[in-house]
Amino acid sequence: MKNKLLRNWGLKLCSFLIAAVLWLIVTNINDPVGTFRVYNVPVVLQNTDLITNSGQVYEVLDHTDVIDVVTIQAKRSIIDSLDESNIIAVADVNELTNLNTVAIKLSTNKYNDKLESIRGNIDNVKLNIEAEKTKTLPLRAVTIGTVKEGYMVGDISTEQNLIEITGPESVISQVKRATVTVNVSGFTNNIGTDSPIRLYDENDKIIDVDSIVKNINKVRVTVEILELKTVDINWKSTGIPGRGYMATGEIQAGRNSVTIAGRSKAIANINSIDIPEAVLDITGAAESLETIVDLTDYLPDGVILAEEDFKGRVNVTVVVEPVVERVASISPDRIQIVNVPEGFNVEIDMEDDAHDITLVGLESDLNELDLSTIQATVDIAALMEKEGLISMSAGHYTADLTYSLENNAVTVRDTSGISLIITEAE
């Protein structure tokens, strides 16, 4: 029996090896080893509170928290049962190195022990770790675009006027302002909208990084849209200048019209801005009154000035000049006699060919006055009343003259009166 078992042992060993090889070939043909690739696999960072609890913040560098390609080798039967949801990539901050890197560990949530291999194109998550900083900024609202012609932007308000930001000190230190922007193109009515808050550096470049945490990301903004209207400014003065002086009637102002803005109802009935006379009071003045008038003091409620470079202050001058006297003569042919009683004749008794009068007024008015246009009148009825006469009787009388001048700003001073000879008609 023993001899039979040992007989042809070499042939038997060869047969066994051939059988084993055939078994392996058959097995591999039925379930061969294959390769499976998954792209853009996110890496889960674990125990990050070890950083944040120490008053620091971290930032992932170079997008190393995403593995571009994970390659798995396993038998075909295993690979066919896997998809991208089965890939697990973790990096435990407990294993943070001095270079601020954390090793990535790859696995699958099933058949992990049956994989030939699993590897990614990167092995570590790179972190930037630094001190955390919090900063509070005023919130500014601005507009872009242009409202409809005839309108302007009024007040802009936000429900909150401060924002708090937290993040890496190096990033937070770059933030210089926080702004919300509202597009007003074509609007004629008030705007209310929720606008995102944007952060800017000192060069007005937007800072948009995930490492900054805002306490609010949007804010309610209200933009007032006002209608425009251009109206006149009415200037008036009051008072009598000092003795020997007179107002020329001229008011010199830096502007005589202004553009205002308000809600349509507020400005609909406004046709002018009327400055009270008391503002330009020249009582007792011996020279021109020069003053500054602030128009904002005289705007109705709900109305504002609409010119960007004009704040409402206007230089105003009420012109006051000295009174001038000038002697002039009137010939008898320019003296009219009226209300002569029936049965009487009246003649002017002049030793000279003319009657002298004194003209009083501003030099400019006197220079413009045409002396030939001065008309004088003698009223016999007024003379009789002055003399207490019930009926006229012949004789010599001195009567007052009344004068008519083209320029009412010039007056006549005549204290002498004119001599008359009154006789009974034949």
- What confidence score (pLDDT) does residue 18 get? 72
How buried is residue 70: exposed, middle or buried, by Cβ count under 10 Å (0-12/13-18/19+)?
buried
Q: Pick from 379, 372, 380, 363: which is nearest to 405 by CA?
A: 372
Stretches where the chain sits below pLDDT 50 are: 2, 5
Q: Between the CA of residue 298 and those of 260, 273, 375, what are the distances in Å?
A: 12, 7, 46
Paired sense of beta strands 44-46 and 87-92, if any = parallel
Q: Which amino acid is at 332?
A: P
How buried is residue 21: exposed, middle or buried, by Cβ count under 10 Å (0-12/13-18/19+)?
exposed
Describe the strand order of the beta sheet including 245-253 as a list of residue ranges.
Answer: 245-253, 313-322, 289-294
- What confidence score (pLDDT) does residue 333 get? 85
- What confidence score (pLDDT) does residue 8 get? 61
Q: How far is the C-alpha of 391 from the C-alpha of 396, rounded, in Å? A: 15
Q: How many CA atoms lie within 13 A of 281 on its CB side?
A: 5
Q: How far is the C-alpha of 237 from the C-alpha of 247, rounded, in Å? A: 9
Beta bridge pairs of residue 345 = 423
Q: Using an 8 Å Cβ cutoff, are 376 and 399 in contact?
A: no
DSSP 8-state secondary structure symbol assigned to residue 299: P
Q: How many CA atoms lie within 13 A of 311 on its CB side?
A: 2
Global pTM value: 0.61
Q: Between the CA of residue 44 and those of 47, 95, 97, 337, what are the distances in Å?
A: 10, 14, 17, 119
Q: Using an 8 Å Cβ cutoff, are 96 and 27 in contact?
A: no
- What confidence score (pLDDT) does residue 16 get? 66
- What confidence score (pLDDT) does residue 30 get? 67
Query: What ranges in 369-412 are assigned the alpha helix state H?
Result: 380-387
Report residue 309: phi and psi, to 5°: -95, 10
- What confidence score (pLDDT) does residue 6 get? 53
Q: Which amino acid is at 291?
A: T
